Amino acid sequence: MRLYLVSRNPKKVEELAHLAKACGIELVPIDIPKVEIQSEILVEVALYSATVAHLSVKRPLIVEDSGLFVKSLNMFPGALSSYVYKTIGVRGVLKLMEGVEDREAFFESVIALAAPTLDGVKTFRGSVRGRIAEEPRGTGGFGFDPIFVPEGYTTTFAEMGIEEKNAVSHRGMAFRALCRWLLENCERIACEGWT
């Protein structure tokens, strides 16, 4: 089965390609503009993106949106994490956390699936709890990975290999939910014919 991925982030493509391979999916990045709305609700952002992308290319596709939600910052940067990363970055978030005791945070991922044989858009979620590190550590992953330590770990996402990160990450969890659903519903939605 072939699935297109609307993304211009090579690191995200790489992580999702690993997950897709384990699910028997051929994941093909597709370079079209991704329309992202300003919403605190990740599901809304992904739903809208997938709907617009599908109207434009009419192929089976997914979009993946994720965000880092920091409890003591009123869930900032949340659904707008990539914009915040590009402007004030990891250092900005660490500065906002200076002197803050409560470092609880979570990463959330939403994958939205659209295809000609599907009614509407289907979404899949994953989330992982953790805390904001005092200093950035590691060079793997992308975005805020160097300052996120998942619950039960001492290493940041950026200190993990791609397989290890996928096993615990919000994105891995969301993709595995997509994979399970496709396996269970493939016949009904004729997913083997997706090209």
Structure token digits, residue 150: 């998942």
Binding marks (x or -) toward a copy of itself, 40..69, rule CB under 8 A?
Answer: x----x--x---------------------
Q: Which of 41, 83, 117, 163 binds a copy of itself (CB under 8 A)?
A: 83
Nearer to a copy of itself, 51 or 127 (CB): 51
143: left (phi over 0), alpha (psi -120 to 50) or beta: left
The answer to whether 65 is a known catalytic residue is yes
How far is C-alpha 63 from the chain's CA centre?
8
Q: Which of 60, 67, 78, 130 binds a copy of itself (CB under 8 A)?
A: 78
In the complex, minimum distance from the CB of residue 193 to a copy of itself, in angstroms, rounded to a whole number = 33
Of 167, 104, 171, 177, the closest CA to residue 142 belongs to: 171
Per-residue burial over 138-149, b = 16 or more CB atoms within 10 Å of its CB, e = otherwise = bebbbbbbbbbb
Q: Which of 1, 23, 30, 75 binds a copy of itself (CB under 8 A)?
A: 75
In the complex, minimum distance from the CB of residue 37 to a copy of itself, in angstroms, rounded to a whole number = 5
Q: Establish if 84 lies at the interface with a copy of itself (CB under 8 A).
A: yes
Q: Are 167 and 19 in contact (CB under 8 A)?
A: no
Catalytic residues: 65
